[in-house]
């Protein structure tokens, strides 16, 4: 079967190794520009991207005029792909949503503890010869509010319970059963829930409804000295409003893995980066060896299974990944 895959963002080497063993041709064009993509994409059955490559309607239309049948988003968020156009042109889009769940959840825990104890700032001061014995906060017994109780939100909740935190969760869908089964209290009024939360962790997708969801209005609902964590998408938070909340003491500290502009570009984002109580990481939620390995394996699995390619080597690699995800309560 003559299947051609175009990869435009960096993937774990196991993807290339396995594809070769399955007899699939993979061409890598890292950093391809939009014009290059428009020219190249009709020659491929599958386009594999991560978050860097923007796949707009024109690219999909160009692909459809040629061989393009499938777009694989090797990762979670689909906000860089024009899903409506893909539907219109009947190009299937798949992602690997569970591959990085554990890695992001672990980063959230890291940011929560780092924010509560000002680890990054105190380390920076110590390196510069200032031995500041600043007093921080414990997480034990505190209330965590998870906003967006999906895959990552649920994993964060389960791990926070192990730290002795009380966990509440808010979502726009019915989470009563999934929350209760994890010993989490579902809440239905976000502003009300923010009034009682010590730590808030955001795990919603970026949509028209969630753009700047956290703006002045919601920060005002928070009780003073809240720890605020965002590892979802930067544009879910209005950076200027977060800065004001920090200055007014509503937010005690913030841990941000994502910003609306990456790297930070606006004055507010630059101020957040320099703020002693803000920890910014450069969108590394899914950047672990384990997550990237799973992303690569699940991307290849999506391709072989969708295109009906029989490859025992790939199936052999997929099984342990799926077993591990099931152990974490996640779908393969
Ligand atoms: P998911 O789809 O499993 O969960 C998202 C949840 O948010 C769903 O339950 C959905 O109903 C809920 N939701 C949607 N709109 C909402 C709203 N307005 N208010 C409250 N809840 C709402 O997604 P996930 O895999 O848990 O990922 C969560 C977020 O993490 C996404 O934004 C994703 O892009 C991001 N992410 C970031 C990284 C990183 O590197 N930092 C890596 C992976 C995922």
Name the residue of 148, 154, 214, 288 to mutate for ligand 1: max ligand atoms within 8 A of Cβ: 148
Domain contains 318? yes
233 is catalytic: yes
Nearest CA to ligand 1 atom 4: 150
Nearest CA to ligand 1 atom 18: 210
Cα 214 to Cα 281: distance, rounded to the nearest angstrom: 19
Which residue range is the domain that position 306 belongs to? Answer: 4-97+288-327
- The closest of 173, 204, 168, 202 to 187, measured between CA atoms, is 168
Asked whether the beta carbons of 303 and 315 are under 8 A apart, the reply is no
Nearest CA to ligand 1 atom 25: 151
Both 113 and 258 in a single domain? yes
CA of 203 to the centre of ligand 1 (A): 4
262, 275, 290, 305: which one is catalytic?
Answer: 262
pLDDT at 77: 85
Both 202 and 109 in a single domain? yes
Name the residue of 51, 73, 76 to mutate for ligand 1: max ligand atoms within 8 A of Cβ: 76
CA of 40 to the centre of ligand 1 (A): 32
Domain contains 263? yes
Cα 196 to Cα 218: distance, rounded to the nearest angstrom: 13
Domain contains 265? yes
Nearest CA to ligand 1 atom 32: 205
151 is catalytic: no
pLDDT at 79: 87
CA of 207 to the centre of ligand 1 (A): 10
Nearest CA to ligand 1 atom 20: 171
Task: List pocket residues of ligand 1, CB cut-off 6 Å.
Answer: 76-77, 97, 100-101, 104, 147-153, 170-173, 203-206, 209-210, 213, 231-233, 257-258, 283, 285-286
Residues of the chain with pLDDT under 50: none
Domain contains 273? yes
User: Tokens 């999506």 identify what position?
Assistant: 302
Both 58 and 90 in a single domain? yes
73 is catalytic: no
Both 117 and 236 in a single domain? yes
Both 185 and 205 in a single domain? yes
Both 271 and 295 in a single domain? no
CA of 47 to the centre of ligand 1 (A): 24
pLDDT at 174: 98
Could you write out the three-class secondary structure of the chain?
CCCEEEECCCCCHHHHHHHHHCCCEEEECCCCCHHHHHHHHHHCCEEEECCCCCECHHHHHHHHHCCCCEEEECCCCCCCECHHHHHHCCCEEEECCCCCHHHHHHHHHHHHHHHHHCHHHHHHHHHCCCCCCCCCCCCCCCEEEEECCCHHHHHHHHHHHHCCCEEEEECCCCCHHHHHHCCCEEECCHHHHHHCCCEEEECCCCCCCCCCCECHHHHHHCCCCEEEEECCCHHHECHHHHHHHHHHCCEEEEEECCCCCCCCCCHHHHHHHHCCCEEECCCCCCCCHHHHHHHHHHHHHHHHHHCCCCCHHHHHHHHHHHHHHHHCCCCC
Report the first-to-last Cα separation within the chain, whole angstroms: 26
Both 82 and 120 in a single domain? no
Both 13 and 59 in a single domain? yes
Name the residue of 107, 171, 281, 287 to mutate for ligand 1: max ligand atoms within 8 A of Cβ: 171
Both 307 and 259 in a single domain? no
Give the CATH number, domain containing residue 267: 3.40.50.720
151, 155, 233, 294: which one is catalytic?
Answer: 233
Both 105 and 85 in a single domain? no
Both 120 and 21 in a single domain? no
Nearest CA to ligand 1 atom 1: 150
67, 277, 283, 305: which one is catalytic?
Answer: 283
Domain contains 65? yes
Nearest CA to ligand 1 atom 44: 76
For residue 57, CA distances in Å to 38, 63, 82 come to: 11, 10, 6
Domain count, the chain: 2
- Choosing from 262, 280, 298, the residue where a domain stops is 280
Domain contains 332? no
């Amino acid at each position: 079967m003559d299947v051609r895959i175009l990869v435009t963002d960096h993937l774990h080497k196991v993807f290339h190794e396995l594809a070769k063993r399955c007899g699939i041709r993979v061409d890598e064009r890292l950093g391809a520009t939009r014009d290059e993509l428009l020219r190249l994409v009709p020659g491929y059955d599958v386009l594999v991207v991560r978050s860097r490559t923007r796949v707009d309607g024109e690219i999909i239309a160009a692909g459809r005029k040629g061989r393009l049948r499938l777009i694989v988003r090797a990762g979670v968020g689909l906000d860089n792909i024009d899903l409506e156009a893909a539907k219109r042109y009947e190009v299937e889009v798949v992602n690997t949503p569970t591959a990085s769940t554990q890695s992001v959840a672990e980063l959230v825990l890291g940011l929560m503890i780092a924010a509560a104890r000002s680890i990054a700032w105190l380390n920076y001061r110590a390196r510069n010869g200032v031995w500041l014995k600043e007093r921080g906060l414990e997480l034990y017994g505190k209330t965590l509010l998870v906003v967006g109780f999906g895959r990552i939100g649920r994993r964060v909740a389960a791990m926070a319970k192990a730290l002795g935190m009380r966990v509440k969760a808010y979502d726009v869908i019915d989470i009563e059963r999934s929350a209760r089964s994890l010993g989490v209290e579902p809440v239905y009024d976000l502003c009300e829930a923010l009034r009682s939360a010590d730590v808030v962790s955001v795990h919603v997708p970026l949509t028209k409804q969630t753009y700047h969801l956290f703006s002045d209005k919601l920060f005002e609902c928070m009780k003073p000295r809240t720890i605020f964590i965002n590892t979802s998408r930067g544009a879910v938070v209005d950076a200027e409003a977060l800065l004001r909340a920090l200055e007014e003491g509503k937010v005690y500290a913030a841990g941000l893995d994502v910003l609306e502009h990456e790297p930070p570009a606006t004055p507010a984002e630059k101020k957040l980066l320099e703020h002693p109580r803000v920890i910014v990481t450069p969108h590394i939620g899914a950047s672990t060896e384990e997550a990237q390995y799973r992303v690569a394996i699940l991307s290849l699995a999506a391709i072989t299974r969708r295109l009906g390619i029989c490859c025992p080597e790939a199936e052999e690699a997929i099984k342990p990944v799926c077993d591990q995800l099931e152990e974490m309560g996640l779908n393969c």
